[in-house]
Chains A and B, each alone.
Chain A
């Protein structure tokens, strides 16, 4: 049985190299006895549109696919909270919280699928040409954002959100079309944002959730031992993400701190309170759309993860 796994990011990207391919190799080795095999189609060869990936799995075009819930605003309201400032501090907190909340059945929206994995990026930061010393410097700053919640957050902080593809960010900052971008420290490096926007404001502004979903009918038809492997996959993938992505972010941050050409600003507690106050309307809006009590459960989960 050959399962088609569609991944819209390029085959050469770090997540394919250090997460999906190792996972597929592990899975195929373990599931060989049951004659089940996953074939990875990276780089969008099986569907280029990131927004269509989940639907393609529901339709049976692919059996598994990488999806990003925030790419389709309004469809997965339970996942908006991950993009809120002041919650998950890093890849580990975000990934474990998302995975465990899902495993506990608290996150809704993917009922028609089997969710094989769920993990997050690192915390969003603001990377700008001109230094951002405090949140008031953000007033009128044009920042590249991706998605509805980032848009709302940047507006709440006084900035001007602009949508564009990730590949265009660095060039547009360089040419002065925008002043900076809101991404985590790894994306900032991969897409060369840090080269043109050497001032980094690390205010813990939210994380991006990724899910790997499987067609429900396909899942139900698999032998129990393979289902068991899939049940372990969430942890397998989250661990790989935490092991590879987390340190990459740490390395970048240390390099920026050591480099005289870069500034790294970590806001004070008073500053964080100011940010929290400004984004409170966004938080209220997200809370109103999400399953009741979910945000509280998320906060409790983060406390729990930090205490481990």
Chain B
């Protein structure tokens, strides 16, 4: 049998295993080893990949930023930092119609700068922002929709765990990716805010206006929440200003978040344990996926399938921009059925060589991939952010949340189109700072 035939069968086996409830990392690892062994005609060397890749990933200093960012997020949650950021945003813009929803986006963006995960951002803002909005007669749709959509900012705004994974799997500099994601993330926030303003303008019943907060309230909010803002500035500013490496920023962030939670008296022993445990439980999940994905990459490489795919698509004479558009549509579909990180790790072995063969910038592509995959967090049938919120809000209908996020999905797709059309939005800062590529 030709290597590519075995490769295709291996792909099928991997997807079948995933369908049969095998964890995605395990499915990729097992199918990858079997495929590699079949192509090389000997299973013994293939089995050693379980060791090679586990050792490489466990010993990797690049991947080690993931548990650190997770730890920072856990302590930030325990320490109530998200509430502070929300309160500041609220004091600034809470009084306009729909202002609470806008403040939610602002709070999500701020928390996104100290937390790498979408689900964590959505769930923590559900606890903080939702009761406020419900109290002030916001429609449940707008309230839940803005939180679910705002939650995706957690993944988009650096630090972003999925950008770290993209960097590790494609050998791009994580820091460069973080800088490239900055302007697109600002664009995301702006478009979400505009969406809310349009929604409440067209239907004023969706939200109430609040009373203008006195400036003293902003002062109070800042006094009690300055540590959260400071953490945000130290972590992201430290990376952008070149004071820290990404690893150092993650370490400083985790340790500062711990100190803040501690000195605020929020850190009970129980909270401390649960923060540690949350990190301990999520870390192996992500590592197992990376190990499986790396093993599967060996099988894909040796099968010659990526070259075939690249040649096949190039032979059709399809212009590069159409390839990009088709890939975006593929990711939107994948993102709606697969868990986010998985749809990226499964496709990278094929998609990355294709994109490089068309001469596209791998940094630009990384930002696009994360953006399009992040949309999958809020699209039906499987939208992780929506699921998590539903789990926290037993009385809310799933359909209400999905209806609420629909306008934001439109805004997200518009943003995607803008980023495809203007690569400079992603690459401008990277070029300006002359960052390593």
A and B touch in the complex (CB under 8 A): yes
- Does the CB pair A48–B294 fall under 8 Å? yes
- What chain A residues lie within 8 Å of B52 (beta carbons)? 47, 49, 52, 55-56, 59, 61
Ordered by A's residue number, 29 sampled pairs between the chains whose C-beta atoms are within 8 Å are A4-B302, A41-B301, A41-B302, A43-B171, A45-B297, A47-B298, A48-B56, A52-B55, A52-B56, A56-B48, A56-B52, A59-B48, A59-B52, A60-B42, A61-B36, A61-B45, A61-B46, A61-B49, A61-B52, A61-B298, A167-B437, A168-B175, A168-B436, A170-B436, A171-B242, A172-B242, A172-B245, A174-B434, A177-B242
| In the assembled complex, A175 has its CB within 8 A of some CB on chain B | yes
- A44 interfacial contact with B, CB 8 Å: yes
CB–CB B298/A171 < 8 A: no
Q: How does the 8 Å CB contact mask read for A20-49 relative to B, with 1 for contact and 0 for none?
A: 000000000000000000000101111111
Question: Is A164 on the interface with B (CB-CB < 8 A)?
Answer: yes
A59 contacts across to B, CB distance below 8 A = 45, 48, 52
Decide if B435 is an interface residue (CB 8 Å cutoff).
yes
Chain B residues contacting A46 (CB-CB under 8 Å) are 298, 301-302
Is the Cβ of B45 less than 8 Å from the Cβ of A44?
A: no
Whole-angstrom distance between the Cβ of A3 and the nearest chain B Cβ: 11
User: 6 closest Cβ contacts across the A-B interface?
Assistant: A60-B45, A175-B242, A49-B56, A59-B48, A167-B436, A45-B301
- B272 interface residue (CB < 8 Å to A): no
A61 vs B295: C-alpha distance when bound (angstroms): 11
Q: Which residue of chain B lies nearest to A176 when distances are taken between CB atoms in the complex?
A: B242
Add 9 more A-B contacts to A49-B52, A59-B48 (CB < 8 A): A41-B302, A45-B297, A48-B56, A52-B52, A55-B52, A56-B52, A171-B434, A175-B242, A175-B243
Interface string of B296-307 (1 = CB under 8 A from A): 011001100000
B216 at the interface (CB under 8 A from A): no
**Interface digits, B191-225 against A, CB 8 Å rule (1 contact, 0 not)?**
00000000000000000000000000000000000
Is B316 in contact with chain A by the CB < 8 A criterion? no
Count A interface residues, CB 8 Å: 27
Complex CA distance for A183 and B298, rounded to whole angstroms: 32
Taking the closest CB of chain B, its distance from the CB of A54, in whole angstroms, is 11
Name the distance in Å between B188's Cβ and chain A's nearest Cβ: 26
Known: A43-B171, A177-B242. A61 touches B48 (CB 8 A): yes
* B245 pairs with A164, CB closer than 8 A: yes
A167 CA / B242 CA spacing, docked (Å): 14
Q: SS class of chain B's interface: helix, strand, loop or mixed?
A: helix
Contact residues, B70-85 vs A (CB, 8 A): none
Could you tell me if A60 and B294 are in contact, using CB atoms closer than 8 angstroms? Answer: no
Determine if A171 and B297 form an interchain contact, defined as CB atoms under 8 angstroms apart: no
Q: Which of B22-46 contact A (CB under 8 A)?
A: 36, 40, 42, 44-46
Interface code B394-437, partner A: CB below 8 Å = 1, 0 otherwise? Answer: 00000000000000000000000000000000000000001111
Q: B3-37: contact bitstring with A at CB < 8 Å (1 yes, 0 no)? A: 00000000000000000000000000000000010
Q: How near does chain B come to A10, taking the closest CB pair, in angstroms?
A: 8
Docked complex Cα distance between A168 and B436 (Å)? 7
Q: Please, which residue of chain A has its CB at the minimum distance from the CB of B435?
A: A171
Q: Which one of A10, A55, A167 lies within 8 Å of B173 (CB-CB)?
A: A167
Residue of A nearest to B349 (CB): A45
A64 to B44, CA, bound (A): 17
User: Which single residue of chain B is at the shortest CB-CB distance from A175?
Assistant: B242
The docked-state distance in angstroms from the alpha carbon of A45 to that of B226 is 46
Least CB distance, A21 to chain B, in whole angstroms = 15
Q: How far is the CA of A174 from the CA of B60 in the complex (A)?
A: 26
Give bound CA distance, A46 to B171, whole Å.
Answer: 13
A183 to chain B, nearest CB (A): 15
- Report the Cα distance A33→B76, complex, angstroms: 66
User: Which A residues are CB-close (under 8 A) to B301?
Assistant: 41, 45-46
Nearest neighbor of A62 in chain B, beta-carbon distance: B45
Bound form: Cα–Cα A49–B46 in Å: 16
CB distance from A41 to the nearest CB of B (A): 6
Q: Could you tell me which residues of chain A, from 58 to 106, have a CB within 8 Å of some CB in chain B?
A: 59-61
A16–B298 alpha-carbon span in the complex (Å) = 20
Q: In the assembled complex, which residues on chain A have CB atoms less than 8 Å from the CB atom of B245?
A: 164, 168, 172
Q: Which residues of B contact A4 (CB under 8 A)?
A: 40, 302
CB of B212 to closest CB in A, whole Å: 43
B residues less than 8 Å from A49 (CB atoms):
52, 55-56, 60
Q: Which residues of B contact A56 (CB under 8 A)?
A: 48, 52
Chain B residues near A60 (CB, 8 Å)? 40, 42, 44-45, 48
Give A67 to B314 CA distance when docked, in angstroms. Answer: 34
**C-alpha gap A218/B322 in the complex (Å):** 44
* Minimum distance in angstroms from B164 CB to a CB of chain A: 15
CB under 8 Å from chain B, chain A span 130-177 = 164, 167-168, 170-172, 174-175, 177
Closest residue of chain A to B241 (Cβ to Cβ) is: A175
Expressed in whole angstroms, the minimum distance between the Cβ of A48 and any Cβ of chain B is 7
Residues of A within 8 A of B298 (CB): 46-47, 61
How many angstroms from the CA of A170 to the CA of B242 in the assembled complex? Answer: 12
How many angstroms between the C-alpha atoms of A191 and B48 in the bound complex?
34
Q: Which residues of B contact A51 (CB under 8 A)?
A: 56
| Complex CA distance for A168 and B242, rounded to whole angstroms | 11
- When C-beta atoms are compared, the residue in chain B nearest to A10 turns out to be B171
Complex Cα–Cα for A174 and B171 (A) = 22
List chain A residues, Cβ under 8 A from B294. 48
Min CB distance A245 to B, Å, is 22
Q: Which residue of B lies closest to A53 (CB)?
A: B52
Task: Please give, as numbers and ranges, the residues of chain B lying within 8 Å of A55 by CB-CB distance.
Answer: 52
Digitize B259-285: 1 where CB-to-A-CB distance is under 8 Å, 0 elsewhere.
Answer: 000000000000000000000000000
Query: Which residues from B are CB-within-8-Å of A45?
Result: 297, 301
Distance between A172 CB and nearest chain B CB, rounded to angstroms: 8
User: Which A residue sits closest to B246, measured CB to CB?
Assistant: A168
- In Å, the complex CA distance between A12 and B301 comes to 17
Chain A minimum-CB-distance residue to B247: A164
Least Cβ distance of B358 to chain A in Å? 15
Residue of B nearest to A46 (CB): B301
In the complex, how many angstroms separate the beta carbon of A45 from the nearest chain B beta carbon?
4
Query: CA separation between A56 and B56, bound complex, in Å?
Result: 12
Q: A48 contacts B242, CB within 8 Å?
A: no
- Nearest-neighbor residue (CB-CB) of A57 within chain B: B45
- The complex places the Cα of A170 from the Cα of B434 at a distance, in Å, of 10
Q: Which residues of A contact B243 (CB under 8 A)?
A: 175
Q: Which chain B residues border A61 with CB–CB below 8 Å?
A: 36, 45-46, 48-49, 52, 298
Contact with B along A170-201 (1 / 0, CB 8 A): 11101101000000000000010000000000
